């Protein structure tokens, strides 16, 4: 395959997807749903081999990619914590990828270093999918988040989403905000301590796309007005004062009482990239809009759709 053609098949950043491509991808993901649920068997990737190279562990993401590839009839080989193998001792990431990309048909690469996956793609002989490059990108998470909103709300256009928690360092909320800005009439409400607000660089992108956003401090106020509450973890270690940290973490914990007080317990869609710790209470699990496990499950059909696009096959 030519270098240019290969370049189009890497999945590196949400920036590479415009609205039209996202719509097409999500249509394919919907066709993949019955296969993801074992209601239909697909074999379109028969004979294809995927290598999962996880330089840092992420069981959830790894198994989601593995399942997606296998549900389409392909084979998967995984290696986790590759940095401890003799292979990687002192070997450059480029050499590792040059070798493995000559064995297999696609690579999913997760690596702690920002930009490492894009760098790997420049030397790879096969398509590379970014499975998270540290503080950089995690494009398949943003895609599955947007797909979840579409499935839960019926459509993404016109949706009002509140993002709650650590918006400064949270990779997922940055990517999702940028992805949502591609839709029409989307409103974003950011709920975070002042020291953990959404970075200016992301806000600038939203402005450039004409997306409406605002910053509020009260979780209850936000819950009252939005369709979707996207909760993320508030990391105590970001604060120098432990007493202040505990107080803040408490005021950004989403539980059933807050949603009932805001009068939205029966209708609000609650999302979370998981794992959750203290940030999202288990007493929310029974609400009809508790979507975070469905959200995790949607990762499989969305990743199936990406593989269908990469290999030019119909599920």
Binding residues for a copy of itself, rule: CB under 8 A, are 35, 38, 41-42, 46-49, 51, 56-60, 62-64, 66-67, 70-71, 73, 75-79, 82, 84-91, 95, 98-100, 102-105, 274-277, 293-294, 296-297, 300
* Least separation in angstroms between CB 308 and a copy of itself: 16
Beta strands in the chain (DSSP E): 49-54, 75-80, 106-111, 128-133, 160-164, 187-191, 212-216, 228-231, 269-271
Give the CB-side neighbour count of residue 215, counting CA atoms within 13 A: 14
Report DSSP state, residue 271.
Answer: E
* Least separation in angstroms between CB 213 and a copy of itself: 30
Residue number, 48 or 171, with CB nearest to a copy of itself:
48
C-beta of residue 249 within 8 angstroms of C-beta of residue 219: no
C-beta of residue 53 within 8 angstroms of C-beta of residue 108: yes
Distance CA 116, CA 113 (A): 6
* Least separation in angstroms between CB 66 and a copy of itself: 5
Residue number, 93 or 149, with CB nearest to a copy of itself:
93
The β-bridge partners of 213 are 188
* Least separation in angstroms between CB 281 and a copy of itself: 12
Indicate if the alpha-carbon torsion angle 156, 65, 277, 134 is positive or negative: negative
Residue number, 70 or 256, with CB nearest to a copy of itself:
70
CB atoms < 10 A from the CB of 206, how many?
18
* Least separation in angstroms between CB 48 and a copy of itself: 7
Residue number, 45 or 142, with CB nearest to a copy of itself:
45
* Least separation in angstroms between CB 279 and a copy of itself: 11
Residue number, 50 or 161, with CB nearest to a copy of itself:
50
Residue number, 137 or 279, with CB nearest to a copy of itself:
279
C-beta of residue 180 within 8 angstroms of C-beta of residue 205: no
């Amino acid at each position: 395959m030519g270098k240019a053609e290969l370049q189009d098949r890497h999945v590196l950043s949400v920036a590479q997807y415009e609205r039209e491509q996202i719509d097409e991808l999500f249509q394919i993901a919907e066709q993949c749903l019955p296969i993801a649920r074992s209601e239909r068997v697909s074999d379109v990737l028969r004979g294809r081999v995927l290598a999962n190279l996880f330089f840092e562990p992420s069981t959830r993401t790894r198994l989601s990619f593995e399942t997606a590839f296998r549900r389409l009839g392909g084979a998967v080989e995984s290696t986790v914590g590759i940095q401890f193998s003799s292979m990687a001792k002192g070997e450059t990431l480029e050499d590792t990828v040059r070798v493995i990309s000559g064995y297999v048909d696609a690579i999913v690469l997760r690596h702690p270093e920002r930009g490492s996956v894009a760098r790997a793609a420049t030397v790879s002989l096969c398509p590379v999918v970014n499975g998270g490059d540290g503080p950089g990108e995690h494009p398949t998470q943003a895609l599955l988040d947007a797909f979840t909103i579409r499935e839960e709300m019926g459509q993404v256009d016109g949706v009002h989403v509140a993002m709650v928690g650590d918006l400064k360092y949270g990779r997922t909320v940055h990517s999702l905000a940028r992805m949502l800005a591609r839709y029409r009439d989307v409103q974003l409400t950011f709920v975070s301590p002042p020291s953990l607000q959404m970075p200016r660089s992301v806000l600038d992108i939203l402005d450039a796309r004409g997306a409406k956003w605002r910053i509020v401090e009260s979780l209850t106020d936000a819950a009252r007005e939005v369709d979707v509450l996207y909760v993320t973890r508030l990391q105590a270690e970001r604060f120098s004062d432990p007493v202040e940290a505990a107080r803040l973490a408490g005021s950004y914990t989403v539980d059933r009482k807050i949603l009932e007080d805001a009068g939205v317990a029966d209708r609000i869609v609650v999302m979370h990239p998981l794992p959750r710790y203290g940030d999202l209470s288990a007493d929310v699990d029974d609400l009809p809009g508790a979507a975070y496990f469905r959200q995790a499950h949607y990762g499989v059909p969305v990743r199936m759709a990406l593989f269908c696009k990469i290999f030019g096959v119909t599920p």
